[in-house]
Amino acid sequence: MSEPLLIDMSKQGRKAYCFPPLDLPRGFDQALPSLPASLSRQTAARLPEVAELDVVRHFTRLSNLVHGVDNGMYPLGSCTMKYNPKLAEHIAGMSEFTQIHPLQDISTVQGSLSVMYNLLEDLSSITGMSWGTLQPCAGAHGEYTGLKMIRSYFLKQGDDARKKVLIPVSAHGTNPASAAVNGFDVVPIASDERGLVDLEDLASKLDDTVAALMLTNPNTLGLFEQDILVISRMVHDAGALLYYDGANLNAILGMATPGDMGFDVLHLNLHKTFSTPHGGGGPGSGPVMVNSTLRPFLPKPDIELTDSGYVYQWENEESIGKVSMFWGNFLVLLRAYVYILRMGSEGLRAASRHAVLNANYLAAKLAPVLRIPYGKRCMHEFVISCSDLLEKYGVSAQDIAKALIDEGYHPPTMYFPSLVSEALMIEPTESESVESLDAFAETLLKLVKRAQEDPASLKAAPITTVVGRLDEVKAVKEPNLRY
């Protein structure tokens, strides 16, 4: 059943909330200066007027029209849709954390600061880096911050010529966008027949105008860039820096570190690797970790542990400054900290090992029927191509994805990376059991069979949802963006 807009259920005079009456002394009410008419609002805004139960039913019904990890498998590649522990939700709701103001006296926020300080210590150990910042609110925000630091580093050396950032064609779209926002020119790097960085292409593009190479490792094909030490040497020999996009860190926790690989700066996605919920598109958190070369450029303020407790450190001349309003998405940081406490070093390692096991097991089940163009084995995710289905039966990756919805699955990431035609990028995560992987594989194979026998039924999918495929062209041509 579709749900009407709440505004359409409005009835003048209904209230879902009542404020206590204003209880100032009577005399004062009259003496109160009124806001000058020149500054006063003239028009009312149209907001719903409904009873409390109307609000409750409306949003409960809307929540029933959403699929989350708690509802079922969510193999959305590169997004690491793993289980979000309930303990972390509970702790993030504790009033000792939610009722603390960011500008309270430092002596009254030692608990929150200790969470942030210890989280930074743990993240430094996990990534093999020197220190970091928790201010960035998402992965792309972390990229922005890291690239800003790289630019400041070169300017500090008096080097204004390094205006290029090299980015593999398989990289997430945020990489080139973040580089452009920071005023860099983006130079794409080709992938070779293995699906890895093309070393010849890289060599031909490395010179003294290059500031950095941004790399995701394992990359978006789910393959480990096994030449990473060579790449690192090439990049550093050219005087450039190496940036690690941590979107796929869930493949190597406790197994290897970006620090050992030679990365100078990286961002993490706490909402991916460290199990904080994705919230329908945020809030996430994108801490940036650096080695000692870039440490002076970290955003302000840093947190330091002194004899009198934790303090903010603002006295850093080379810092790029602030990148967010206060200290970061604290309640997200807290959840990630709880996850790390719960898992410990062995647990994090086990998470990655099982994430990789799950991906390889699922890939092996699908490989006889669906083409996996790159890699014999994968890390935490893999990419299948539906191009054969399209050629033979006219069934596209999108058709398969939409049919999966009718089977109760959130579809994999579609049409990315562009190296693979009709791509479906599958990341099962360590959260899924073997039974759940078997059921998913069976479903996919059943759909492939249906593509041969009854392609029209796949084209019609989904049919079990509140709406069918939507007219995207109409949405763009006749924008209806508000009530």
Partner 1 sequence: MVYPYIPHTDEDRSMMLSAIGLQSLDQLFEVLGEELQLSDSVPISHGRTEDEVQRMIDSIASRNVRGIPFLGCGCYDHIIPSTVKALSSLPSFVTAYTPYQAEMSQGLLQAIYEFQSMICEITGMDVANASLYDGSHAASEAASLMVASKRKSSTVLVSSTIHPFILAVLTTWAKGTDRAIRILQEKEGVVDLSSLEAELDETCAGLIVQSPNRYGLLEDYNTVADTLHTHACLFAILSDPLSLAIQKSPAEWGADIAIGDTQSLGLPLAFGGPSCGYMAVTESLMRRIPGRIVGATTDAKGRRGFTLTLQAREQHIKRERATSNVCSNQALAALMTTIHLSSLGWGGMVEAANQSYAKAHYLAYHLAQLPGVTLIWDKPFWCEFPLVFSDAKRMRKFLQELRNEGIFAGVRLAALTRQAKDELVLLVAVTEKRSREELELYLAAARRVMK
Which residues in the 223-262 window bind partner 1 by CB under 8 A? Answer: 224, 226, 228-229, 252, 254-257, 260-261
| Minimum separation from the CB atom of position 295 to partner 1 (A) | 17
190, 195, 455 from 166: Cα distances, Å: 10, 17, 42
SS3 311: strand
Residue 479 in the binding site for partner 1 (CB under 8 A): yes
Scanning residues 176 to 205, which ones bind partner 1 (CB under 8 A)? 176-183, 186
- Location of structure tokens 């080695």: 291
SS3 53: helix
Residue 151 in the binding site for partner 1 (CB under 8 A): yes
- Selected from 132, 195, 328, 417, the binder of partner 1 by CB under 8 A is 328
Judged by CB under 8 A, which stretch of 235-243, 388-396, 403-411, 447-455 contacts partner 1? 403-411
Between 452 and 468, name the residue whose CB sits nearer to partner 1.
468
Between 392 and 463, name the residue whose CB sits nearer to partner 1.
463
Q: Are strands 131-133 and 423-426 parallel, antiparallel or unpaired?
A: unpaired
| Minimum separation from the CB atom of position 91 to partner 1 (A) | 5
User: Is the CB of residue 263 less than 8 Å from the CB of residue 242?
Assistant: yes
Residue 59 in the binding site for partner 1 (CB under 8 A): yes
Residue 63 in the binding site for partner 1 (CB under 8 A): yes
- Selected from 194, 236, 365, 371, the binder of partner 1 by CB under 8 A is 365
Between 101 and 308, name the residue whose CB sits nearer to partner 1.
101
Residue 344 in the binding site for partner 1 (CB under 8 A): yes
| Minimum separation from the CB atom of position 363 to partner 1 (A) | 8
Q: Could you tell me the sign of the dihedral formed by the alpha carbons of 63, 285, 353, 235, in that order?
A: positive
Scanning residues 420 to 439, which ones bind partner 1 (CB under 8 A)? 430-434
Q: Are strands 265-267 and 288-290 parallel, antiparallel or unpaired?
A: antiparallel
- Selected from 26, 158, 237, 470, the binder of partner 1 by CB under 8 A is 470
Scanning residues 273 to 312, which ones bind partner 1 (CB under 8 A)? 275, 277-284, 299-300
Residue 314 in the binding site for partner 1 (CB under 8 A): yes
Judged by CB under 8 A, which stretch of 142-150, 287-295, 388-396, 420-428 contacts partner 1? 142-150
Q: Are strands 210-216 and 164-168 parallel, antiparallel or unpaired?
A: parallel
Q: How many CB atoms lie within 10 A of CB 71?
A: 13
- Selected from 26, 30, 39, 308, the binder of partner 1 by CB under 8 A is 39
Dump the DSSP string for 320-362. Answer: ----SSSSS-HHHHHHHHHHHHHHHHHHHHHHHHHHHHHHHHH
| Minimum separation from the CB atom of position 260 to partner 1 (A) | 6
Between 205 and 278, name the residue whose CB sits nearer to partner 1.
278
Between 344 and 391, name the residue whose CB sits nearer to partner 1.
344
Apex 69 CA angle, 65 and 73, nearest 5? 100
Between 201 and 430, name the residue whose CB sits nearer to partner 1.
430
Q: Give buried/exposed letters for 343-377 (b at 16+ CB in 10 A, else e).
A: beeeebeebbbbbbebbbbbbebbeeebebebbee
Scanning residues 95 to 124, which ones bind partner 1 (CB under 8 A)? 95-105, 107-112, 114-115, 121-122
Judged by CB under 8 A, which stretch of 137-145, 236-244, 387-395, 446-454 contacts partner 1? 137-145
Nearest to 147 by CA among 113, 111, 107, 185: 185
Q: Which residues are bridge partners to 76 per DSSP?
A: 426
Residue 354 in the binding site for partner 1 (CB under 8 A): yes
| Minimum separation from the CB atom of position 179 to partner 1 (A) | 6
- Selected from 213, 410, 419, 427, the binder of partner 1 by CB under 8 A is 410
Tell me how far apart the alpha carbons of residues 419 and 195 are, in angstroms, rounded to a whole number. Answer: 8
Q: Give buried/exposed letters for 113-152 (b at 16+ CB in 10 A, else e).
A: bebbbebbebbbebbbbebbbbbbbbbbbbbbbbbbbbbb
Residue 161 in the binding site for partner 1 (CB under 8 A): no
Between 334 and 392, name the residue whose CB sits nearer to partner 1.
334
- Location of structure tokens 């309640």: 331
User: Is the CB of residue 261 less than 8 Å from the CB of residue 238?
Assistant: no
Binding mask 446-465 for partner 1 (x = CB under 8 A): ----------------x--x
- Selected from 30, 40, 306, 308, the binder of partner 1 by CB under 8 A is 40
Q: Are strands 131-133 and 265-267 parallel, antiparallel or unpaired?
A: unpaired
Between 172 and 450, name the residue whose CB sits nearer to partner 1.
172
Between 144 and 244, name the residue whose CB sits nearer to partner 1.
144
Tell me how far apart the alpha carbons of residues 174 and 144 are, in angstroms, rounded to a whole number. Answer: 9
- Reading the block at residue 210, the tokens are 């290059």
